[in-house]
Amino acid sequence: MSLPRLEADLGKIGHNARTLAGRLSGRGIGVTGVIKAMLGAPEVARTLIDAGVTSIGDARIENLESLRRAGIDARMVLIRSPMISQAARVVATAEASFNTEPDVLTALSEAADALGTVHEVILMVELGDLREGIMPDDLDDVVDMVLRLSGLRLVGLGTNLACRSGVVPDATKMAELSALTAHVEQSFGIDLPVVSGGNSGNLDGALGTDELGRINDLRLGESILLGREPLHRRSIPGLYDDAITIVAEVIESKLKPTVPWGEIAQGAFGEVDTAADRGMIVQSILAIGRQDVDPDGLNPPPDTEILSASSDHLVIATPELRPIGSTVAFAPNYSALLRAMTSPFVTPVWRLPGDRSTVPSGDSSPRAPGPARSHCHEAS
């Protein structure tokens, strides 16, 4: 089987999605399953749909187009503000999109009119995290504009927190979004059926005792795929946190000193070696590197230590020499998962529910190099 590879257990991912959807439905909240970290994989989309998510969300129109080509017939939402250059593609592919810019909204309306359809929009409101969002004082003007555009239907408001600046989506923030929703409805005499409160960072409150106000949608990615919440990176009780592993092959294993010799300057990525002298240790090299994965986001197996990484090599320390051709499996965090899935050199494989075998991914997902690191997940 191809190496390096990313193995995803669809049974565990489905369990996570089903568990969260069930818990949240009891509080009147639907789940938008965000799969941008999986590069538009239809296998994952189908798993989430079967588990009860209300819609599929992604930040890239290319991924949503890939899902449509694969025959996915679910409601799809573009969760990143559309590029104006892609307005026609957004309207043709997604039922709804998150928006902040008047010029983009105009372009979406014109594209919808040309296709003879109506595109749904959720307006994102800035509540302090300082990424995307309309300032609250400007919201009425944008709402008024949307209501005048024949190709658009305003269906809700949303916000994004716990992302760029780490602002916690607490009860106070949810009350602000709820109050803005009520204000818009009363001021314009409309109903807003969608109030999207945020991402996996909202789960502490949503699954706890916090007052959620009007919140009835959450965009969940990391919690479904990795079984963790992003505020503190804690595992969520009742969920699998080992559904995804990254496996790499050993291409060298030797006894070597821990301290380099010779004149020391910067390494390839600007680092300076400051390793303490631990004598001779077993160092193994794996055929995976920074081009393929975020090494800082890999959790190694017991008795294994990650020493360093270059573009194409990951150097680890182990108690004993590793056989050449053997493999080492790591648990990724979201950053490592995102980079591995967007590397053309890492093969995704899907473990079917109830089956320990793995099935290679098809060609339905684009395989193009992607962003090196993401500090924010579901809200994209």
126, 50: one domain: yes
Residue 36 clears pLDDT 60, i.e. is over it: yes
SS3 of 176, please? helix
219, 284: one domain: no
Residue 294 clears pLDDT 70, i.e. is over it: yes
DSSP 54: S
Task: Show the domain range for 341.
Answer: 244-360
Contacts of 151 (CB under 8 A, 6+ apart): 91, 108, 109, 110, 111, 112, 113, 117, 118, 119
Which one has a higher pLDDT value, 18 or 352? 18
Reported as a single tens digit per residue, the pLDDT across 94-118 is: 999 999 999 999 999 999 999 999 9
117, 250: one domain: no
Per-residue tokens: 302: 């017991």
What does the alpha-carbon distance between residue 236 and residue 249 come to, in Å, rounded to a whole number? 31
CATH code, 278: 2.40.37
Q: Which amino acid is at 82?
A: P
Q: Which amino acid is at 353?
A: P
Nearest Cα to 376, choosing from 29, 36, 10, 8?
Answer: 36
For residue 7, the cross-strand partners are 245, 349
CB distance 218 to 197 below 8 Å: yes
Residue that is written with structure tokens 């320990």 in the block: 356
366 domain residue, yes or no: no
199, 308: one domain: no
Residue 10 clears pLDDT 60, i.e. is over it: yes
Per-residue tokens: 359: 């099935």
Mean pLDDT throughout 318-346?
97
379 domain residue, yes or no: no
pLDDT at 374: 33
202, 248: one domain: no
Rounded to two decimals, the pTM is 0.90
Q: How many residues does the chain have?
A: 380
**Of 211, 232, 253, which marks where a domain is finished?**
232
22, 105: one domain: yes
Q: How many domains does the chain have?
A: 2
pLDDT at 354: 67
pLDDT at 146: 98
pLDDT at 259: 82
pLDDT confidence band for 361 (50 / 70 / 90)? low
Q: List the single range of 27-41, 160-174, 244-258 with lowest mean pLDDT.
A: 160-174
pLDDT at 260: 79
207, 260: one domain: no
Percent of the chain with pLDDT over 90: 81
pLDDT at 308: 93
Per-residue tokens: 68: 């449509």
122 domain residue, yes or no: yes
Residue 369 clears pLDDT 50, i.e. is over it: no
47 domain residue, yes or no: yes
339 domain residue, yes or no: yes
Reported as a single tens digit per residue, the pLDDT across 172-220 is: 999 999 999 999 999 999 999 999 999 999 998 898 877 889 999 999 9
pLDDT confidence band for 352 (50 / 70 / 90)? confident
DSSP string, 72-138: --S-EEE-SPPPGGGHHHHHHH-SEEEE--HHHHHHHHHHHHHHT--EEEEEEB--SS-SS-B-GGG
CATH code, 192: 3.20.20.10
237 domain residue, yes or no: no
Nearest Cα to 94, choosing from 130, 126, 120, 127?
Answer: 120
203, 250: one domain: no
Question: Which entry of 36, 173, 254, 256 is annotated as an active-site residue?
Answer: 36
Is 36 among the residues known to form the active site?
yes
**Of 191, 211, 232, which marks where a domain is finished?**
232
Average pLDDT, the chain: 91
What does the alpha-carbon distance between residue 199 and residue 218 come to, in Å, rounded to a whole number? 5
Q: Which amino acid is at 323?
A: P
98, 168: one domain: yes
Reported as a single tens digit per residue, the pLDDT across 46-70 is: 999 999 999 999 999 999 999 999 9
Mean pLDDT throughout 63-84?
98
**Of 201, 232, 263, which marks where a domain is finished?**
232
Residue 336 clears pLDDT 90, i.e. is over it: yes
Per-residue tokens: 178: 């709820």
64, 197: one domain: yes
Burial of 232 (0-12, 13-18, 19+ CB in 10 A): exposed
Q: How many CB atoms lie within 10 A of CB 363?
A: 8
pLDDT at 375: 37
365 domain residue, yes or no: no
4 domain residue, yes or no: no
Q: Is the peptide bond before 323 cis (omega within 30 degrees of 0)?
A: no
SS3 of 174, please? helix
Residue 338 clears pLDDT 90, i.e. is over it: yes
330, 266: one domain: yes
Residue 366 clears pLDDT 50, i.e. is over it: no
252, 225: one domain: no
Residue that is written with structure tokens 């803005």 in the block: 180
Reported as a single tens digit per residue, the pLDDT across 245-287 is: 999 999 999 999 988 777 767 666 767 667 778 889 999 999 9
